[in-house]
Every structure is written in structure tokens, then in C-alpha cells.
Amino acid sequence: MCGFVGGMLERAVDDARLDASLEAIHHRGPDSRGKWVAPDGRWFLGHTRLSIIGLDNGAQPMSNASGDVQMVVNGEFYGYRGIREELKSQGYVFQTDSDSEIALHLYHRDGMHLGKHLRGEFAAVIADRKNRLMFAIRDRFGIKPLFYTVHEGGIYFASEIKSLLALGVPARWNYEAVQQEAYMFRPQSRSLFDGIYTVPPGHYAVAHRGEVSTYPYWDQEFPTAEELARDDRTDEEVVDGFREALGDAVRERLVADVEVASYLSGGIDSCSVLGLAQQMMDRPIRAYTLCFDDDLFDESQLAREQAEFCGSTFHPVPVTSRDLADAYSDAVWHSETPFINGHGVAKYLLSREVRDSGIKVVFTGEGADEMLGGYPPFRRDVLLYNSEGQDPEIVAKLLGEMQESNKAVPGFVPDEQESLPILDPVKRLLGFVPSWMHVFSLMGHETTAIFRKEFAEQVAGINPILSTLGRLPIRERLEGRDPLNQSLYTWSRIHLPNFILTFLSDRMEMAHSIEGRVPFLDTVVAEFCAGTPIRMKINGMREKHVLREAAKDVIIDPVYNREKHPFSTPPAKEGENDALDELYMDVVQSKLLDEQLIFDPAMVRGMLDSFTGDTPIDSNMRDTFLNRIVSFTLMHERFGISG
């Protein structure tokens, strides 16, 4: 994994600013740094490298033989060896051993349609001076970040926003995006910074004559309910097919010129990946697990048993409230996204420990819940909308059991479907309101209620959910699909790239130069999951049923039988000399809160007094509220954001 910047400007690039922009993302690639600047100084690419494949000769930017095409890449291309041999047979000459070089030759052969050949986690920018354009492309799920902006007539691309700011792009809030963020319903194309956008997942961008246009090259396609009903595969055939797809994804992600380790929790996702990977290795894989001093959130014992079962070595990483408090501000800076929980900070600390152990590459389990309906709201949707003919009394009983079983994150399963006007367009579009949207709309309703008056006026009357859904091909992708698959599609296109793959994945890993590899978001795995029958995703109340059956031989029984528990850190403990709570109170009572532009300080402090902390739900609500306020405030401070 790496970091990059690039641009097509009206004037020569300031070399000092280019160096500063690369320094801002040094953490993404500490092994080497490279630059290419056109003779007139108006085109440039910069790259910071984390060496994984082709350690000695994979420096970037890379150039074609004539020098009129230059390229920078962040990420990994899986199956690159086969593509490399095919290109060689067609006369292409390779100068490096790096997997990245295939993209340079594919661009020459296939032009902007090269994306269909690329499998992996990646973002890339190609400067094509002959055709007077820059071409940028991002992986199918947005695992790797890719931002762009048009500033003073110039076009800039970068792996992180802080790199654009170092090039002179101003840091200003995008008011509408902040409102959408409050609802955790921000479009995949929009950042929180005014004028700075993301190339959406599964898209490529073309920069030409001062403008940037984006085009889709892939989207997740679910069969219609009728097509699924005609699926005559047996359960065993579905399980075998899934095992083959996931096993191949894991095998491809073991390809590296450095050691590959694994993150490990007590959940089935990371346990399955570790179990499958260990079967393919002749040495123990190092497995790293976060440990908390609260039994409700600590999964270290299960992780230890899993590591011992499959022959891996177990490496616990204890994290205390003091650790979270000390790292909080830096984690926010790296994330460029506000938090709702301390889990992003915990991942930041986990990655730091892994780096200090000499590791560069880890397996991670993100994506399984998105592909197979792992989160509690998805099970709720099956009960309410995907269970024709089911006894209402049984449905009510199971819904109650779901609420009771999610003690760590009780608010993630709403007690009842409150009618919020902001959700009316969703019901009109889909015919129902996915439970995850209901949960986040309640959060957004409470968060926007404490906006400053002048901030609220800027977004008055805008429905953030409608404006976000309007950017997705809802009719084309969701009409006639099962409700569960509609929920999975919207979650994967909205919540996954801007949130989970940001503060729980790439940013917290790359903050410490760690490359995370995500087998569940492999192209082949994702397409197989899209066509998997509903009963094999959620079977009764058992989520990710096909994964449980496919990985049964490589995981321990307690993991096989365990219900999904969303990853979370213990909430800050009010009034107990808790370091995290002290951090929150320091920020809320400080001048920083008065200076930030989003929230009304008096309303924030008044609302804080309304939380009693008497119940787990109240404690979690208080923690979520404080995380939102504190992380937004620290973003304002760290990035010097103006209105």
C-alpha cells in the first residue's frame, strides 16, 4: 500500500508544497518517495511507497517506454501474475516485479476499460500527456481512498484530504455533507470538506480541460426475487461454491514478499479468514487481538482459543481508557471522519502494535456483514419484510430476543419503527424502511437538533437521506429484489465506503503503514454472495449461515455458534476517573467547543446533563453523543476548518 498525489495545473506546481503534500501522507509509504513533474511544471505525480511486492525495483511513479504516460498506484492487484504473463505474450515488456505495473500496460491495451481486469484493493492515477488527460480509478468497494478537487483552475488527486490541504486547497466544511454525516448517510462521492470529492467505489474519473467526470465500471448486482426463487442449487452446492470463492480470495492475498499476519477478534469473519489462511501456510501466522478490561466487549479468550485451534500464534494487544484518550486526536486526524465510538481509535492502536512488531500486511474481516447480512438490523429486516407467512407472534418473540441479546450496542436494534417524516421518501422508493436507516435517522435527528442556528439555516429543508439515495441507481439495482438485498445494497453503497472502510479499516491501518487485505470484499466473493439465496445468508436468526457452514472445519464451535456482536469499545465511564471521559469533558468544557462552527455549545452542554447513564442504552447514547461532538470539534482544530 502507498499514498499519492497528482495534478494538472494552470501554472507550475510549487515544489515546496508538493514535498509538503507527500510529507502529509508519509505514513502511507515510509519506505521510499518519488516524484514526476512535467518539463513545464504544470503536470505532476508524487508517491510514497510501502514495499510489499517487488521490494527492490517497484519504485513509483512508473512510466511507459516513451515517457508520455506516468502512473501512481496505491494498493494490490490480485491475480496479477496471470495478467502479467498474458501481457508478456502480447509483446509488453515489464521493467519491475511489482504488481502495479500491469495497470500501466492494461491502460495502453484497453484504455479506460482496464478496470474489468483489476481485482483487489486499489486506487490509481495515470497522467496521459499524449491525450491531455488524467485518468483515476478506484476499487469496487472503496477500500482504498481516492479524492479529487478543482482549485484555482487546477485539478488535484490524492489518497488523503490532508495532502490536498498541504497543496493549498482551503479547508472548509461542506454544510450539506455535515448534515448527511450527522445521519451517517453521506453519499459515496462526497467528503466533509467543501469542494473535495471522492471518486466513488467502482468508478473511474477523467480529468480534462479543468473538469472531472466520473463513470461507473462496476456495481453490485443482486438477482431479482423471482430469479432467486428459480435457483435450484442445494445448500451443499452453495456452501461448496462459497468456500471455493473465499478460499481463492484468501490464497491470492497471501501473495507478498513480506510476512502476512492477521487481525483476529472473537467473531466468525476474522476467525474464518485466519483458519483458511493457516491451512495454506507452512508456518504459524501471527494473530493480533484487541483486549479490553470490560468482559462485555473483550473477545480475547475466544480469539486465543481460535488461534490455538488453527495453529497460529496469539498476540494480545491490551487497550485501556488511557490509551484511547491519548490516541484519540491523532486517530481523528488520520481518519478525516468523525467517530461514533472509540473502535476506530482502538484499531489505530492495534495497527501501531502490529507495525512495532515488524509487520506490514494483515488480513482483516471487514465486508462479511455487508455481503451476508451480518448486522442485527439485517436480521430484523428479514423478520419484518422477508418472511412471508411467518406467525406474527413468533416474529415479535424473535425481535424481543434480538434486542435483549445485543447488550454491548443495544441501540443498534430499534425497539419499534418510529415514524420519522425524513424516512417517507425511503418507503416510497423501496416500499419499506431498512432498519439500519431507521437507526441512523434517529441519531441524525438528535444530532442536527443541536446545530448552531446559522449552520442549521444553511441546510434547512434539505432531506439528507433523499439527496443521498438520489445519487444511487435505485430502480435499476433494487426493483424486484428481496428486502434484505435492498438493505445490503444501500448499506454497501453508503455506509461501507465512507465509514467502515475509513475509520475501521484503511485510515487506521495506514496511519501506521499497515496494509489491510480484505478477502470478503474480493470481486469473486462479492458476486457469489450477491447471488446467494436469502436462506443461506440469514437462516432463522442465524446470520451469515453460508459462511458458518463453509468455514465449520477451520473455526472453533463457540465461534461457529456465536451471534454477531458489532465491534465496539467500552463506553467512557462517567465519574469514575475514566481517562476517556476526562478527555470528552475537557473538550466539551473548553474553548475548542466554543470555536467550532457546527454545534451550539450551550445546547451541547445542556443536552449532556440529560444523560443519566442509569441503563446500558443511556450509557451508549451518551458515549455516541460525546464521540460525535468531540471528534467533530477536534477535526475543526486539527485541520483549521473554516465555514
For 204-244, the DSSP string reads EEEEETTEEEEEES----PPPHHHHHT----HHHHHHHHHH
Q: What is the pLDDT of residue 55?
A: 76
Q: Are the C-beta atoms of 148 and 217 separated by less than 8 Å?
A: no
Q: 540-594 pLDDT, tens per residue?
A: 778 999 999 999 999 999 999 998 877 889 888 887 789 999 999 999 999 999 9
pLDDT of residue 411 exceeding 60, the answer is no
Segment 525-550 mean pLDDT: 94
Segment 368-374 mean pLDDT: 95
Q: 449-473 pLDDT, tens per residue?
A: 999 999 999 999 999 999 999 999 9
CA 554: distance to chain centroid? 26
Residues 6+ away with beta carbon under 8 Å from 551: 243, 246, 268, 271, 272, 275, 276, 560
* Dihedral sign (CA 129, 133, 139, 145): positive
Half-sphere exposure of 462 (CA within 13 A, CB side): 23
How far apart, in Å, are the Cα atoms of 107 and each of 72, 102, 204, 363?
13, 9, 12, 29
Q: How many residues does the chain have?
A: 643
pLDDT of residue 327 exceeding 80, the answer is yes
Segment 378-387 mean pLDDT: 86
Q: Are the C-beta atoms of 558 and 301 separated by less than 8 Å?
A: no
Segment 141-170 mean pLDDT: 97
Segment 311-332 mean pLDDT: 97
Three cell numbers, residue 3: 499514498
Segment 252-262 mean pLDDT: 95
pLDDT of residue 64 exceeding 60, the answer is yes
Please state the domain extents for the chain: 2-216, 225-370+495-560, 579-639
Among the ranges given (104-113, 336-345, 427-436, 618-627), the one the predictor scored with the smallest mean pLDDT: 618-627
Q: What is the pLDDT of residue 406?
A: 62
Q: Are the C-beta atoms of 328 and 322 separated by less than 8 Å?
A: no
Q: What is the pTM of this model?
A: 0.95
Confidence of residue 539 (pLDDT cuts 50, 70, 90): confident
Q: What is the pLDDT of residue 407?
A: 60
pLDDT of residue 419 exceeding 70, the answer is no
498-501 long-range contacts, CB within 8 A, separation 24+: 498/142, 498/186, 498/188, 498/198, 498/337, 499/184, 499/337, 500/366, 500/370, 501/141, 501/142, 501/143, 501/366
**Common-topology check for domains 2-216 and 225-370+495-560:** no
CATH dotted code for 225-370+495-560: 3.40.50.620
CA 134: distance to chain centroid? 25
Taking alpha carbons only, the member of 500, 115, 469 closest to residue 269 is 500
For the chain, what percent of residues have pLDDT higher than 90?
A: 84
Q: Are the C-beta atoms of 222 and 481 separated by less than 8 Å?
A: yes
Report the alpha-carbon distance of residue 220 to residue 345 in Å, rounded.
Answer: 30
What value does the mean pLDDT of the chain take? 93
Q: 470-502 pLDDT, tens per residue?
A: 999 999 999 999 999 999 999 999 999 999 999
Q: What is the pLDDT of residue 245?
A: 98
* Dihedral sign (CA 631, 634, 636, 640): negative
For the chain, what percent of residues have pLDDT higher than 70?
A: 95
Segment 186-196 mean pLDDT: 96
pLDDT of residue 289 exceeding 80, the answer is yes
Taking alpha carbons only, the member of 268, 301, 266, 264 closest to residue 284 is 264
Q: What is the pLDDT of residue 540?
A: 77
CA 274: distance to chain centroid? 20
Q: pLDDT: is 138 or 398 the higher one?
A: 138
pLDDT of residue 600 exceeding 70, the answer is yes
Segment 347-375 mean pLDDT: 96
Q: Which alpha helices (H) appear in 41-100, and where do they start and end?
A: 80-89
Q: pLDDT: is 532 or 400 the higher one?
A: 532
pLDDT of residue 417 exceeding 60, the answer is no
How far apart, in Å, are the Cα atoms of 75 and each of 71, 147, 256?
13, 15, 12
Segment 198-211 mean pLDDT: 96
Centre a 10 Å sphere on the Cβ of residue 557 and count the other Cβ atoms it contains.
Answer: 10
Three cell numbers, residue 465: 437521506
pLDDT of residue 637 exceeding 80, the answer is yes
pLDDT of residue 408 exceeding 60, the answer is no
Amino acid at 373: G
pLDDT of residue 402 exceeding 90, the answer is no
Tell me how far apart the terminal alpha carbons of the chain are, to the nearest angstrom: 34
| Domain spanning 2-216: CATH 3.60.20.10 | yes
Q: Are the C-beta atoms of 498 and 15 separated by less than 8 Å?
A: no
Segment 94-116 mean pLDDT: 95
As separate numbers, helices (DSSP H) first and strands (DSSP E) second, the chain gives: 30, 19
